[in-house]
Amino acid sequence: MTATTVELHVAAREIAPRGARPLGQLAAQAYIGARSLGERIARVFDREPTRYESIEAVLNMARQYEHTQPSFAADLRAAACRFDADER
């Protein structure tokens, strides 16, 4: 008598604990909502600087370069003054 082994290839059933699907959907919605809220908040703070903020930034840069590159600092101040005069 000979022994014969038969292997059956059967797809495994996916068994998830009760409530796993709704909990997963709830977590996904919470993640999407938090990401959306974060993007909206970022848009509030991501704005173009005003004309005066731009002038102030250039003047601050000129102050930083004053000791190492005085001619460049003077050019920056002149550009800020011209930009300010264009408004008037």
11 within a domain of the structure (yes/no): no
Per-residue model confidence (pLDDT) at position 47: 80
Tokens of 28: 């996904």
16 within a domain of the structure (yes/no): no
Cα–Cα distance for residue pair 88/79, rounded to 1 Å: 15
Q: What digits encode the pLDDT tens for the residues 35-45?
A: 999 999 888 88
88 within a domain of the structure (yes/no): yes
Cα–Cα distance for residue pair 88/83, rounded to 1 Å: 10
68 within a domain of the structure (yes/no): yes
Q: What digits encode the pLDDT tens for the residues 14-58?
A: 787 888 889 999 999 999 999 999 999 888 887 888 888 889 999
6 within a domain of the structure (yes/no): no
CB 55 within 8 A of CB 83: yes
Give the helix/strand (H/E) hosting 66: none
pTM, to two decimals: 0.47
Cα–Cα distance for residue pair 88/84, rounded to 1 Å: 7
62 within a domain of the structure (yes/no): yes
Tell me the residue range of the domain where 62 lies.
49-88
- Model confidence at 8: pLDDT above 90: no
23 within a domain of the structure (yes/no): no
76 within a domain of the structure (yes/no): yes
Report the number of distinct structural domains present in the chain. Answer: 1
